[in-house]
Amino acid sequence: MKVDYLIVGQGLAGTVLSYQLIKAKKKVVVINQTNRKSSSHVAAGLYNPITGRRMVKTWLADELFPYLEAFYSDMEQVLETRILMKSGIYRPFLSIEEQNEWMAKSADPMFSDYLEGIVQSSSQLGIKDPYGGLALKYSGYLDVSLMLDQYKRYLLENEAYIESAFDENMLVVNQEDVSYEGITANKIIFCAGVNDASGRFFNWLPFNPVKGDIISIKSEIPINKIINRGVYIIPQGNGTCRAGSTYSWDDLTDVATEKGKSEMMRKIEELIDSPYQVEDHQVGVRPATDDRRPFIGQHPALKPLYIFNGLGTKGVSLAPYFALEFLAYLEGRKELHEEVNINRYFSLY
């Protein structure tokens, strides 16, 4: 078999990138070993333009956010499945001073596009928000796990998917192409998440993997909006909510621990005052990077080899825009954004 692109990994990165390539009429084969504990399968899928303790616009928000909803809506048509839940996000204020501060900031053009409004008093039984909160828009969540399953089905129907563990030792790298188990590809793109950090070809890149816990809860007083402060709580529409997440750089196993669960519960109890039960607990390791920017580009010495990785904590919002940018780069139409191009680390190779 001869293809334009061989993609290793079908998490969020491999999915979004291969979808952009197929839309551009490229012949693609994806090799993936399904792992229900992968970062993508456990992710909450939240996208949110204003984040962090200091509540600032996320990096490149004005480029990423207008495009992402259009991208996933297009995927929904092809997959015939709803995967994107557009929804506001509510962030309770901690003090009246904070409320006043946001009343002033809300007119600032830097934020105004992303603000639905300021809620000045407690908004819903069950939520701890005595001073009201900030209502954000252009946000919501992607059902990443459902998207991966449906997209795999789509790839299988198009004979573009191989369920298998990719063995790097079997890859033959030539000047102009690669071959692997009977497949010849002009280019191979590694999208194997944290596995690329210990792989043969891209282990010199400064990955900084971070484990996270996510739990499913059933609250006695139903929570009917996404709340985000310290942790996020996302109603799933069936009475349960998913709540996440923690950040651990020490324990990078895929084992769910009591410590992770109790940290999540402590944070949830700062946000809601309704009794609840924990129904499920999952963990995953995010492919994050030292400088918190993705790793995209061509291998410094082995020219047919590329990587699309390092999506860290924000894969849902970063992947569509950067897959499109990467496509333009692969077709020789555009240079890569210098903050994501792996050539910033060529000195480490």
Ligand X SMILES: Cc1cc2nc3c(=O)[nH]c(=O)nc-3n(C[C@H](O)[C@H](O)[C@H](O)COP(=O)(O)OP(=O)(O)OC[C@H]3O[C@@H](n4cnc5c(N)ncnc54)[C@H](O)[C@@H]3O)c2cc1C
Footprint of ligand X (CB under 6 A): 8-14, 31-33, 35, 38-40, 42-46, 165-166, 191-195, 212, 214, 244-245, 284, 286-287, 309, 311-317
Contacts for 78 with CB less than 8 Å, ≥ 6 apart? 154
CA 23 to chain centre: 21
Nearer to ligand X, 142 or 272 (CB): 142
Closest approach, Cβ 48 to ligand X, in A, equals 8
Closest approach, Cβ 94 to ligand X, in A, equals 22
Give CA–CA dist 207/197, Å, rounded: 6
Closest approach, Cβ 310 to ligand X, in A, equals 8
Closest approach, Cβ 109 to ligand X, in A, equals 26
For the chain, what's the residue count? 349
What is the β-pairing status of strands 226-229 and 210-219?
Answer: unpaired
Closest approach, Cβ 214 to ligand X, in A, equals 4
Nearer to ligand X, 163 or 220 (CB): 163
Nearer to ligand X, 132 or 212 (CB): 212
Contacts for 224 with CB less than 8 Å, ≥ 6 apart? 124, 235
Give CA–CA dist 215/224, Å, rounded: 17
Nearer to ligand X, 79 or 191 (CB): 191
Nearer to ligand X, 134 or 210 (CB): 210
Q: In this structure, are residues 260 and 248 in contact, taking their beta carbons and an 8 Å threshold?
A: yes
What is the β-pairing status of strands 2-8 and 183-190?
Answer: parallel
